[in-house]
A and B are shown apart, each in its own frame.
Chain A
Amino acid sequence: MLGFVARRLLYLVPVLVAVSLLTFLIASLLPGDLAYVILGDQATPEKVAALRHDLGLDQPVWWRYLSWLGHVLEGDFGRSFRTGQTVLQAVAERLPVSLELMFFAEIAGLAIGVPVAIACAVRSGSAFDRFMTGSAFGMLSVPTFLSAILLIYLFAVELRWLPATGYVPFAEDPVANLRFMVLPALTLALAEWPGIMRVLRSDMIATLQEDYIALAKAKGLKASRILFVHALKPSSLTLITVTGINIGRLIGGALIVETIFALPGIGRLLVGAIYTRDLIILQGVVLFVAGGFVVMNFVVDMLYAVLDPRIRHGHA
């Protein structure tokens, strides 16, 4: 087990290096000189040359990469030339918002997906099962920004129950904070539950045919206990896997949702950096998100190895 972790950790290093290299190359090889972005199109060539020298842009690419990587490893991701904020400050400020959003989205997704999956698995093949499976398939075809608009239209424009956009920190006013979170989290949850439901449903159908479920029934255990304790437990592994697979989609979805609902999270920071051509922030945030994503995937892989899948159904 330790050897396995060590091997995976060793594998993580080249991936992270390659990710940093790709992030850097996207930022430096593609057109759009940082000096021109800072000084504007009207700048004189002398000024541009001077600034390029100050920023180290006249050095060879590999040297710039190594020095950038060195700074990053020391925890210095750079500083926005527009706001003067460091990348780390900006990320630290925005990260809690994104994490809160993703947390609530995942909770809501599970809250919808798990009961539906169980209900479908119990009566697999029934009209209810077919209807919900069909709806889940249909929901997979609804892009996040569509459900966002639909929810805004329903709950903010027509019913006027919830605010459409805005944000208040949780520490300032918890109730208002949660009210602002409902629609964004629900939007993401609408995209999350079909995946959860589909995988869990097929998993449960297989589990419910196991001998030990028949035994539990024969013992006269309550149906709810059998379903939620005996049948759901072996599927927890599947749930972890689905959650892991969905992280990438969740990050992308959070980016769109934050922009639509004006939540000051990482996604909006990134989109804002693109609109204002704040290349340093862009580069730093992309590296941060991709790095975090790689580490998250690693953690999910580890969890998966810990809960060995072969013990699940005994015949996999």
Chain B
Amino acid sequence: MATLELGIDEQVAAGPAGRTRRLGPLFWAAVGWTVFILAAAALASLLPLPSPTDMDMLERRAPMSLQHWLGTDGLGRDELARLIHGARISLTVGLCAPVIGVAIGGALGMLAGYFRGRFETLVVGSMDVLLAFPPLILALAVTAYLGQSLLNLTCILGVLGIPAFMRVARAATLTLSRREFVIAAQALGATHVRILLRELLPNVFLPLLAFFLLGVAVTIVVEGALSFLGLGVPPPISSWGSMIGEGRESLEIAPRLAFIPAIAMFLTVLSFNLIGDTLRALTDPRQGAL
């Protein structure tokens, strides 16, 4: 079934089993870019940047210069400032929505995988209903009714992520519950709460974290798509998606206005994918890590 476009088991280990995995320069480059863009977004208001909303009609689509490092957009706003402030929006939604997904989905999945029975059927069934909607369609429909705001957008994308996280948490819990250390804890008389929090959670945490990073990548893309269509964050605020959407209008005169945010978005999504995928490969029991 299609979850939020996350492939769960696409890779079969191609290399010889048991080979120690080195993280490699690409992984560290991805980490470096992520840290850089997160820092830039967090410190946006402290950086010596012009305001991202100040218009200068005399300097529309100005080329790159010392004053405007990346030039200005169609309304004479500083492109670099908009890019960094846009990163704030894209990353806020991109990080907060999967937090909702991982918290609710992870909890539901662990409970379903641990207690089984009716509860599991109910949870899996209701997730199937959520999965029955193509994600982008559901996101569009709900934003259309709820109205566009940063909070609404984050919540919708968060809810859309729940089934995927639920599946990962449930699958991991199912196999872990049958392991000796859980049975031993049960035999020692540990309460359900203790087993879930002290025995299972630490083991489910890493696969969930890996999936969380992949979820961030997907969410940034979906948020970008919605904003690109003009249905994401409302206009005065700009995210990368809406910047690309605006840049598209002047593709013939100043293609850079679409391509600069596009490159930033691509690098960020790629970085989260790379880090998430590496972590997943490290924690995936099917690839001989356990």
Contact = CB atoms under 8 A, between A and B. Distances in A.
Interface of A: 14-15, 18-19, 22-23, 26-27, 30-32, 124-125, 137-138, 140-146, 149-150, 152-153, 157, 195, 198-199, 202-203, 205-206, 245-249, 251-252, 255-256, 259-260, 270-271, 274, 277, 282, 286, 289-290, 293-294, 297
Contacts of A246: 2
Contacts, number: 151
A252 B137 contact: yes
A247 B1 CA distance: 9
Contact of A256 (B135, B136, B145): B136
B54 interface: no
B225 A290 contact: no
Given A15-B129, A249-B2, A144 B273 contact: no
A61 B129 CA distance: 20
B251 to A, nearest CB: 6
B32 interface: no
B165 interface: no
A181 B221 CA distance: 24
Contacts of A249: 2, 5, 134
Interface stretch (B10-18, B64-72, B205-213): B10-18
Interface stretch (B41-49, B173-181, B186-194, B264-272): B264-272
B152 to A, nearest CB: 10
29 contacts: A14-B125, A22-B129, A26-B142, A30-B142, A30-B145, A32-B147, A125-B14, A141-B269, A141-B273, A142-B266, A149-B244, A153-B255, A157-B251, A198-B10, A202-B14, A245-B1, A247-B2, A248-B134, A252-B136, A255-B136, A256-B229, A259-B229, A274-B143, A282-B144, A286-B133, A286-B138, A286-B141, A289-B134, A297-B1
B217 interface: yes
Q: Is the interface of B mostly helix, strand, loop or mixed?
A: helix
Contacts of A152: 248, 251
A289 B134 CA distance: 8
B2 to A, nearest CB: 3
Contact of B145 (A26, A143, A247): A26
B145 A27 contact: yes
Residue of B10, B143, B224, B270 with most partner-chain A CB within 10 A = B10
A27 B10 CA distance: 37
A245 B2 contact: yes
B276 to A, nearest CB: 11
Interface in B142-163: 142-147
A143 B133 contact: no
Contacts of B143: 274
Contact of A248 (B135, B142, B245): B135
Contact of A15 (B132, B146, B245, B273): B132
Q: Which 6 A-B pairs have the closest CB atoms?
A: A248-B2, A252-B136, A202-B12, A30-B145, A141-B270, A18-B129
B56 interface: no
Interface string B234-274: 00000001001101100110010011001001100110011
Given A26-B141, A138-B270, A143-B224, A19 B133 contact: yes
